[in-house]
Amino acid sequence: MGKLMSQKMISLLSSSLAVATLFAGTAQAAPKPTPATFEAAGPVVATGPALLRRLSPDQYRQTIADIFGSDISIGGRFAPEIRDSGLLAVGAGNQSITADEADQYHVMAQTIASQVVDKSHRGVLIPCRPVSDTGADDRCAGQFLAEVGELLYRRPLSKDDLQLQVHIARMAALQEKDFYAGLRESLAQMLVSPEFLFRWSEVQGPLGGEGVSTLDPYARASELSFLLWNSAPDETLLNDARHGKLNSPKGLAREVDRMLASRRLNAGVRAFFSDMLQFSCAENPCLDATFAKDETVYPRFTPQVAADAQEQTLRTLVDLLITHDGDYRDVFTTPRTFLTPDLAAIYGVPLPRDSPNGEPSGWEPYVYPAGDPRAGILAQVSFVALHSHPGVSSAVLRGRALREVILCQKVPDPPPNVSFKLVLDTTNPNYPTMRSRLDAHITNPVCAGCHKLMDPMGLVMENFDSDGSFRTRQNGVLIDTSGSLDGKKFQGMPGLDQAVANDPAAPACLVSRLAEYALGRAPTGDETQWVANLKKDFVADHYRLRPLLRQIATSDVLYRVEWKGVQANSAVAPSSTVASR
Amino acid sequence: MSSKITRRRVLHGMLGGAAISVGLPLLDCFLDDKGTAFADGAPLPVCFGTWFASMGWTPTFWEPEVVGTKDPMKQMKPLLKALEPFQGKINLFSGMQAFLDGRPMATHETGAQICTTGSIPVGNDLDVPSIDQLAANSIGTRTRFRSIEVSYEGVPTSWSRRSSTSINASEVSPLALYRRIFGPQFTDPNSDTFTPDPAVMLERSVLSTVTDQRASLIKKVSASDRVRLDEYFTSIREIEHELDVQLQKPMPMVACSKPEAPPDGPHGQAMDLVIANGKLFSVLIAHALACGQTRVFNAIATMGASSVHKVGSEATFHIDTHEEAIDPKLGYQPETHWYMARCLDCFADLLKQLDSVREGPRTLLDRTVIYGSTDHGYARLHTLANIPLLTAGAANGRLKTGYHLAAPGDTTARVGLTVLQALQLPVSSWGTMSNQTSRPFSELLV
């Protein structure tokens, strides 16, 4: 933080302490990183602005679990995130923290800190014992707070920061006559600090003027870690940052390969697809995407089914893309998936149970027979149920989601003053099915332009009711699942799946989304060419996700930012940076 | 009431002689004999709320036949039947319009944003505060909560915003709201005794060290990020403020009583749940205002293209507005009207709760003004013309009520400006571009 405590702070917390001697012998007080020399990994392109990004709820939860263990409950609630350009990760760069949210973070901070220092956790989580449980102990407090602070802030605490935290711990310990109460208050303070709640793009000089700069080593570590693991950097990564190992293309690539080989990559991949596929709408209903179903119409669709549905898709994706290093296009046609008994009941398929004594099993791998309309992720409950109304399926919502979520093609909002008079009567025997009603609707030329983008694909999914269950008839009439995608006609879900898999827009969309997810914003300037190159290389790499992630994570673009009067990290030697275009 | 204990003194003692830089005096005023004002003659503070229900009202089926002041509400149309008991305490505004100025319309969203901010967004960019936050800047600074937001249908978003990057979330659980307001941190303003909680003092002191980081951190971010970082620090200061208020003897509120905790029930988009949770929220809002915990609230019955539905029905409120047949005898969509009427029931219940809180000869509703808006004039066609707007309550006598005013083609911002001036905010105009106005309904202002 490079700034001394304010006079107010000092007066607030001052006591008879000999401040200067607080940290003698403290384990990790303000280590100095190795002076950095950054080398560009390839062709240098113009770049976009630095971004302050809010930790997502998942990143918050994952970070707390990684640092303190998964048995620490969060308490409180997270406010809905803002989706921008199709991604919450982009919205996080445009979202601040409201008073209500700050209140919730405050509650969570107190809840988490109380558990960390309670009697059942302190022995494991606090690396030292105080001289007395009923008083202050600056040495032990300093050791704990330095270690935890580095993991929370994703960089070592400066000397001033650590002094402040130990002061807080001391004052609270004296106040409450409890060493651990002091740690609790200091930890809670760090948990509401902007240095924890936001991801900082701390830049490395040169000071003065404007131009392009590069992230400092610890900011590089954070970029990597949140992209690939959806969590804060681990000790190895922070150590690599400390020793300058992330500064060279070779060192960076070595670290990226370590992270790509880790099982924690699954968490990063799951986070990305959860964002892209709008699974956050399960927790906080979105206006046109919801897992909320009318329980009298769909009694089998429980909250557990909604949770399982998302898990099914994420397992399918990780299995194909990571475990089997497969072709992304196959996610739309793959017969391989995983089911729970509840999900199998929705899909209407028998699920062999391997568990003993006939006990219900958890997740079981399942392979659909060839040509089954339930193959591929578009037929999964997580897609067809999410993009439906609570009491009825919706070809329009599904068609729109396919365009916007899977193909990255924006469908315009409907114009004002549209007449719906041609589909007024849902009981009209002339319009017994969704197809017939929509056909009538799009005879209106004002509506036809957009509905032709959505309906021919959405109607193919009409074999799936709002809860995702399979059906062949609606109101007694056989459902017509013929359809088309941009002029290519097909029959049924297998045809749609194959058409999407063959559409170059689908893998191109994945690359665009992943690039934006990594940057936290839309590409600007030359970055659009960088994304175009990523798309070409994705094709050349046979549409495999790991090489794409590797290319993004090792790209100079991820670590370069426009620099306009932003104070550089003074802890890193500014004169040694490379800032050439 | 505590005698001469001040927060400064207590903190001084608690923190071992350390100097405390923030000191807020205790309020030692009492209500006058009538219960309508403090002992020094100042009236009880004005409160402000917004009410929102999407899908508008069917044109020609809600506007009173009479325009103006002469008993315009005597014959409320059937759709507004729920408001009949309050016809003398509300105003209706017809014919008003939200202007797009050539920009695209996000259906069920843009109209609502114009009604609540007076401005039309460009993409995600809408860097103006909503009307409630403007009001909170003025009247919400001395209460524990600057504002509270609730959603009856379980969708935790709101139209309340400080800017496009700082949008307030709605509370969807009545029990969670109860715990937040009336949980252990609640202090009965009418209690004879008051002892500041040492734990709150400690929390407050520690939290102040976060805001002290601002000066050093703000230099590390770009100009646009500075705005967002400052919004964060503003939020932290609001928590500090909340804690400060807890450390003071609250001013007595004659009608304050702690409500019963609501049940830990479900929330969701079935209309029955919307109505049930709406009733619980109405009770909590009334008690929160009566107890001086907040002076600003935002209540949403249904949000935008709502998936609110009848249990067992395939259609939703939103689907019905577009696809339900118009009954040739009635001349309107009966199912759609049913939803609109149920939303009005919810609103009437809120008015009933506020009006049942007696503060001397007047009621809590009398010292409140609620601004009610929606997203479309005629949702079936997504129109932005003839958007139905209303106000309820007299803003502590600053707003006349019982009127139906027709202002065909005028910007909806006229109602917002009228409300802001009734709250005595120093604003002479509100809104931007074609939605901007400097013409309040001056005939309503006292």
Chain A closest-CA separation from residue B324 CA (Å): 5
Q: Give residue B27's pLDDT.
A: 31
Last residue of a domain, one of A498, A525, A547: A498
Whether residue A356 is contained in a domain is answered as no
Same domain, A216 and A284: yes
What is the mean pLDDT of the segment spanning B348-354?
Answer: 98
Q: Is the pLDDT of residue A576 over 60?
A: no
Chain A closest-CA separation from residue B341 CA (Å): 21
Whether residue A517 is contained in a domain is answered as yes
Nearest residue, CB atoms, B154 vs list A102, A285, A565: A285
Q: Give residue B215's pLDDT.
A: 85
Whether residue A3 is contained in a domain is answered as no
A472 secondary structure, DSSP code: S
Whether residue A576 is contained in a domain is answered as yes
Return the bridge partners of A364, or none. A339
Most A CBs within 10 A among B97, B170, B210, B327, hence the mutation to make, goes to: B210
Whether residue A532 is contained in a domain is answered as yes
Whether residue A342 is contained in a domain is answered as no
What is the mean pLDDT of the segment spanning A25-53?
Answer: 56
The share of chain A scoring above pLDDT 90, in percent, equals: 56
Which A residues in the span 280-309 are in contact with B, Cβ-Cβ below 8 Å?
A: 284-285, 287-288, 290, 292, 294-297
Q: Give residue A312's pLDDT.
A: 97
Overall size of chain A counted in residues: 581
Note the pLDDT tens digit of each residue in B266-282: 888 889 999 999 999 99
Chain A closest-CA separation from residue B370 CA (Å): 21
Scanning the structure block, which residue is given the tokens 């006559």?
A177
Q: A321 CB contacts (<8 Å, ≥6 apart)?
A: A269, A328, A331, A544, A545, A546
Q: Is the pLDDT of residue A393 over 50?
A: yes
Note the pLDDT tens digit of each residue in A538-557: 999 999 999 999 999 999 89
Q: Could you tell me if A79 lies within 8 Å of chain B, comparing CB atoms?
A: yes
What is the mean pLDDT of the segment spanning A195-206?
Answer: 82
Same domain, A517 and A493: no
Which SS3 state, helix, strand or coil, does residue B145 take? strand
Domain of residue A135, residue span: 21-27+55-82+98-197
> Do residues B316 and A389 lie in contact, with contact meaning Cβ atoms separated by under 8 Å?
yes
Nearest residue, CB atoms, B381 vs list A202, A417, A569: A417
Which SS3 state, helix, strand or coil, does residue A333 take? coil
* Distance of alpha carbon B77 from the chain centroid: 26
Whether residue A231 is contained in a domain is answered as yes
Structure tokens at B90: 């509300």
Which SS3 state, helix, strand or coil, does residue B148 take? strand
Q: Is the pLDDT of residue A570 over 80?
A: no
Rg from Cα positions in chain A: 27
Report the candidate in A151, A144, A102, A104 with the shortest Cα–Cα distance to residue A127: A144
Last residue of a domain, one of A498, A532, A555: A498
Last residue of a domain, one of A197, A221, A252: A197
The share of chain B scoring above pLDDT 90, in percent, equals: 54
Query: Residue A572 — pLDDT band, cuts 50, 70, 90?
Result: very low
Nearest residue, CB atoms, A96 vs list B107, B213, B232: B232
Q: Is the pLDDT of residue A275 over 50?
A: yes
Q: Is the pLDDT of residue A38 over 70?
A: no
Note the pLDDT tens digit of each residue in A335-388: 999 999 889 989 988 877 666 665 656 899 999 999 999 999 999 999 999 999
Report the candidate in A140, A123, A130 with the shortest Cα–Cα distance to residue A69: A123
ipTM greater than 0.85, yes or no? no
- The values of phi and psi at residue A563, to 5°, are -130, 115
Q: Could you tell me if B198 lies within 8 Å of chain A, comparing CB atoms?
A: yes
Structure tokens at B79: 């759709």
Q: Is the pLDDT of residue A35 over 80?
A: no
Same domain, A185 and A126: yes
CB–CB contact A94 B124 (8 Å):
yes
- A50 chain-B contacts, CB cut-off 8 A: 221-222, 225
Same domain, A48 and A68: no
What is the mean pLDDT of the segment spanning B152-167?
Answer: 86
Domain count across chain A = 3
Q: Could you tell me if A411 lies within 8 Å of chain B, comparing CB atoms?
A: no
Q: Give residue A430's pLDDT.
A: 64
Q: Give residue B363's pLDDT.
A: 96
Same domain, A281 and A155: no
Tell me how far apart the alpha carbons of residues B176 and A103 are, in angstroms, rounded to a whole number. Answer: 13
Instruction: Using CA atoms of A67, A69, A75, A77 in order, give the dihedral in degrees to the nearest 10.
Output: 60
Q: Give residue B224's pLDDT.
A: 73
Which B residues in the span 113-152 are in contact with A, Cβ-Cβ below 8 Å?
A: 124, 146, 149
Tell me how far apart the alpha carbons of residues B17 and A12 are, in angstroms, rounded to a whole number. Answer: 9
Whether residue A292 is contained in a domain is answered as yes
Q: Give residue B92's pLDDT.
A: 95
> Do residues B223 and A27 lie in contact, with contact meaning Cβ atoms separated by under 8 Å?
no
The amino acid occupying position A254 is R
Same domain, A229 and A264: yes
Same domain, A108 and A191: yes
Note the pLDDT tens digit of each residue in B221-270: 877 788 889 989 999 998 898 888 888 888 889 899 999 999 998 888 88
CB–CB contact B212 A195 (8 Å):
no
Same domain, A259 and A189: no
> Do residues B132 and B147 lie in contact, with contact meaning Cβ atoms separated by under 8 Å?
yes
Note the pLDDT tens digit of each residue in A486-509: 888 999 999 999 999 999 999 999
- A102 chain-B contacts, CB cut-off 8 A: 232, 235-236, 238-239
Q: Is the pLDDT of residue A410 over 70?
A: yes
Same domain, A546 and A568: yes
Q: Give residue A435's pLDDT.
A: 66
Same domain, A477 and A513: no
Q: Could you tell me if B383 lies within 8 Å of chain A, comparing CB atoms?
A: yes
Scanning the structure block, which residue is given the tokens 């365009």?
A403
Note the pLDDT tens digit of each residue in A145-183: 999 999 999 999 999 999 999 999 999 999 999 999 999
Same domain, A436 and A468: yes
Same domain, A472 and A519: no
B283 secondary structure, DSSP code: H
A422 secondary structure, DSSP code: G
Between these two residues, A422 and A12, which has the higher pLDDT value? Answer: A422
Most B CBs within 10 A among A94, A294, A462, hence the mutation to make, goes to: A294
Q: Count Cβ–Cβ pairs < 8 Å, chain A vs chain B.
A: 246
Q: Is the pLDDT of residue A4 over 60?
A: no
What is the mean pLDDT of the segment spanning B370-397?
Answer: 94
DSSP character string of A56-78: PHHHHHHHHHHHH-TTS---S-P
Q: Is the pLDDT of residue A100 over 50?
A: yes
Output the average pLDDT for chain B. 85
- A184 chain-B contacts, CB cut-off 8 A: none
From B310, which residue of chain A is nearest by alpha-carbon distance?
A: A294
CB–CB contact B20 A193 (8 Å):
no
Q: Give residue A442's pLDDT.
A: 64
Which A residues in the span 110-169 are in contact with B, Cβ-Cβ below 8 Å?
A: 110, 164, 168
Q: B404-406 and B90-94 as β-strands: parallel, antiparallel, unpaired?
A: parallel
Between these two residues, A173 and A282, which has the higher pLDDT value? Answer: A173
What is the mean pLDDT of the segment spanning B414-425?
Answer: 95
- B221 chain-A contacts, CB cut-off 8 A: 50, 52, 200, 566
CB–CB contact B156 A284 (8 Å):
yes
- A186 chain-B contacts, CB cut-off 8 A: 206
Where is average pLDDT lowest: A59-68, A161-170, B319-328, B334-343?
A: B319-328
Tell me how far apart the alpha carbons of residues A222 and A218 are, in angstroms, rounded to a whole number. Answer: 6
Q: Give residue B241's pLDDT.
A: 87
Out of A366-375, B96-105, B250-259, B347-356, the most confident range is: B347-356
Tell me how far apart the alpha carbons of residues A452 and A442 are, in angstroms, rounded to a whole number. Answer: 8
Read off the pTM: 0.80
Q: Is the pLDDT of residue A510 over 70?
A: yes
Q: Give residue B418's pLDDT.
A: 97
Output the average pLDDT for chain A. 83
